[in-house]
Amino acid sequence: MRLEWSEQQCLERVRKSRWPDGRRCPRCSHADWRLHAQGDNGRPKYRCRRCDRTFNDLTGTVFAHSHLSLGKWFECARALKQGPKTCVQLSRLLSVKVATAWRLRKSLRRAFCDPSLDRLFKEVG
Ligand SMILES: [Zn+2]
């Protein structure tokens, strides 16, 4: 079952799940930030006005630093929520290597316990 969200919509859903009342600095929780740059990956970067660190909507989440699209992550999450899957099943379903499927599944199991992502995973289905 394919995910019907674009990458932009995926990113929006992560943001809304983490920060339902508006984006905050993941390091100091300050709500005052400014747009810093448009990342090469199409994800805007922000700079916190209190601690001066830069961040994006994925900083500090399991999705940060991943080369996979958010769509793949969420498709995997959806499959796992529908029932246990072997790495081989997941790799076929997502068209990724078995080792990648193994890493995805391991990371997602941890992410399912992250309360800031509850809303997101409910929406994933
Ligand atoms: Zn900060």
Contact 35, 44 (CB under 8 A): yes
Q: What is the pLDDT of residues 57-98, one digit of tens each?
A: 999 999 998 999 999 999 999 999 999 999 999 999 999 999
Alpha-carbon torsion, ordered 115, 13, 4, 92, to 10 deg: -40
Centre of ligand 1 to C-alpha 33, Å, is 8
Centre of ligand 1 to C-alpha 20, Å, is 18
Asked whether residue 42 carries a pLDDT value surpassing 90, the answer given is no
Contact 121, 112 (CB under 8 A): yes
Q: What is the pLDDT of residues 94-118, one digit of tens each?
A: 999 999 999 999 999 999 999 999 9
Centre of ligand 1 to C-alpha 24, Å, is 8
Centre of ligand 1 to C-alpha 27, Å, is 5
Centre of ligand 1 to C-alpha 98, Å, is 38
Ordered by start, the domain boundaries in the chain are 7-124
User: Which element (helix H / strand E) includes 37?
Assistant: strand 33-38
